[in-house]
Amino acid sequence: MGDTDRGLGAYIGKLHLVGIATLAVLIVALAAVGWSIRPASGGFPTVPSDLGVLVGSPASAHFTESLTLTPGAGATMRVFDLSTATSTAPWTLYLNNIGTGHVCTKRSYTLGAGGGGAISVVPLSPQKVSHPKVPTVGAVLNLTEVQGRGTVYVQVCWPSDAPAARNGAYLSAVFPPISSDNASGFYVATRQLNLGSLDAADYVLQSVSQPTSATQGGWQWSPRFPAGQAITLSAVDTSETQHDSYRAFLSGIVLGVAGGALVALIQELVAPFRTRRELRPPEPGG
C-alpha cells in the first residue's frame, strides 16, 4: 500500500497541475459553447398522417380546420363551423388517432370585426368527451368522441407529435380529412395554418395543394378543396438555413479547438510515464 501511495505521489509530482486544470476548464467550456451554437435544423420533422375527423351528427356542412404552432414542439387544432352559432341542436364529432393530443376546448371563442372593430366573446356549451372502442376488420379505431350542443367548435392540444411541427428551418404539417358516417353527407372545409410568432414571408412553401391566400402569420386553403382530402405541406425558412450553415461553421471551429485541447491534456497526463531516455534530447549527429 505504501509503495502504491509513493508511486501515485511521484506521478502527481511530475504533473503540471496548473496546466492540466487550465486545459480541463478550457475543454469543458469550449465543448459547451460549440454544442450550444450547433444548428438546430435536422430536416423536416415527421408529423402523424393517420389523423382523421368524423362528423357523427352534423348540424353543418362547412367546417374550418385551423392548425396553430405553439411554443416548443406543440400545436393546436380547431375544428369548427361558426354558422351554427345560433343553433341549439346536439352534435357529435369523432377524432381518430390524436395520439398525445387531448381535447382542450375553451368555454368561449372570440370574434373580431377586423380593422380595430368590436370584439365579441361567444360562450360555448359544455362538451362531453369519451373514448369509445369501435372494432373494425383487424383493428380497433382509436377514437375520441366529443358531444356538444349549438356551435360546432372543438379544439385539440398537442404537447408534442402534433400534425404541425417545426424543426429549425424546416416545417411540416398535415390537415386531416373530414368525413361523415352518413353516406349522403357532403362537406367542404377551409384550412388555415398559423405560424404563431413566425413570418410566412420567410418560408418557401412546398405543397401539391397550393394555398389560396397568405398573410404574415400563415396560409389559408379555401373551401374549393374537399373536406375529405387531406392536405400535406412542408416549408423551408431560407434565411434560417443560411444562419444554420454559419452556426455549423462556428460550432466546428470551437469543437475542433476543444479537441486540440483534449489531445494536449492527454499528453500532459501520460508524460510522467515516458522514460528518461525518451525525454533526453538526441545526441548530435544522431
Residues 93 and 180 in one domain: yes
Residues 108 and 187 in one domain: yes
Helix or strand or coil: residue 83? helix
* Alpha-helical regions (H) of 139-204: none
Pairing outcome for strands 119-123 and 102-103: unpaired
pLDDT band at 228 (very low <50, low <70, confident <90, very high): confident
Mean local confidence (pLDDT), 18-41: 76
Confidence check: pLDDT of 16 > 60? yes
Domain that holds residue 270: 2-38+241-274
Pairing outcome for strands 139-149 and 90-96: antiparallel
> 6 CB contacts (<8 Å, ≥6 apart)?
none
Residues 67 and 117 in one domain: yes
Residues 26 and 63 in one domain: no
DSSP structural state of residue 200: G
Average pLDDT, the chain: 80
Mean local confidence (pLDDT), 187-202: 88
Q: 124 and 106 in contact (C-beta within 8 Å)? A: yes
Strands (E), 198-260: 203-207, 213-215, 218-221, 231-237
Max mean pLDDT range (115-119, 161-165, 247-251): 161-165
Mean local confidence (pLDDT), 27-34: 80
Residues 15 and 157 in one domain: no
In a domain, 284, yes or no: no
Domain count, the chain: 2
Pairing outcome for strands 62-69 and 188-194: parallel
Confidence check: pLDDT of 120 > 90? no
Mean local confidence (pLDDT), 240-256: 69
Confidence check: pLDDT of 286 > 60? no
Residues 25 and 57 in one domain: no
pLDDT tens digits, one per residue of 49-62? 889 998 877 656 78
Residues 79 and 215 in one domain: yes
pLDDT for position 8: 64
- Bigger pLDDT: 78 vs 250: 78
Residues 186 and 226 in one domain: yes
Q: CA–CA separation, 71 vs 157, rounded Å?
A: 12
Residues 13 and 102 in one domain: no
In a domain, 286, yes or no: no
In a domain, 150, yes or no: yes
Confidence check: pLDDT of 137 > 70? no
Mean local confidence (pLDDT), 242-246: 61
In a domain, 45, yes or no: no
Helix or strand or coil: residue 251? helix
Closest-CA residue to 182 (of 264, 61, 42, 2): 61
